[in-house]
Amino acid sequence: MKSVSHPRHRPLIAVIILVIALTVLLILSAQTKNRALEIATPTLTLTPTLSATLTYDQALDAANQAIARNPLDSLAYFQRATLYAQHKSYDLAVADFTRAIQLNPTGAAIYFGRGMTYISIAYQQKTAAQQEQIAQQAVADLRTAQRLGYALPADVELAVGEIEGQLGSPATTDQAVS
């Protein structure tokens, strides 16, 4: 198995991780505000302008309230995890994505969100070994999302293939640490 700890692999994997992290922030940003507002006010039909004005604190409060009302609501955990990920609270995001997966193990978007969060975490790691371990977790979740029907954006698909090439073999969900 190839190791990304080789000095020539470090810059490539760091660039790939950065590209994926930026992509996920753009994708999740639009989804989060709209869904958090729906959670907070399920009986109202709101305009896109109003949902765009929802603050992070309001969206987080709405997700917290939804979880308090129904602790088995995987969508509420997914929503809160997405908020945490957007605000770089990655440990909290992974915990909520993991809880959402426990509640809904076939939720492709949940695996995608956790995989992209792992990519963001990997980018922050100081050593190549840490990057490699977290990259394996990310690839496993992203491939699981794909197997469950989630269409990976083209740039994410390309980056995942590059990471798999650097790692030497595709990761499986069993290799990932939940």
Domains of the chain, CATH where assigned = 10-175 (1.25.40.10)
pLDDT digit string (tens) for 76-122? 999 999 999 989 999 999 999 999 999 999 999 999 999 999 988 98
Q: How far is 95 from 39, CA to CA, in rounded Å?
A: 20
Dihedral sign, Cα of residue 35, residue 27, residue 106, residue 14: negative
Cα 119 from Cα 43, distance rounded (Å): 36
Alpha carbons 67 and 156: distance in angstroms, whole number? 30
Model-level pTM greater than 0.75? no
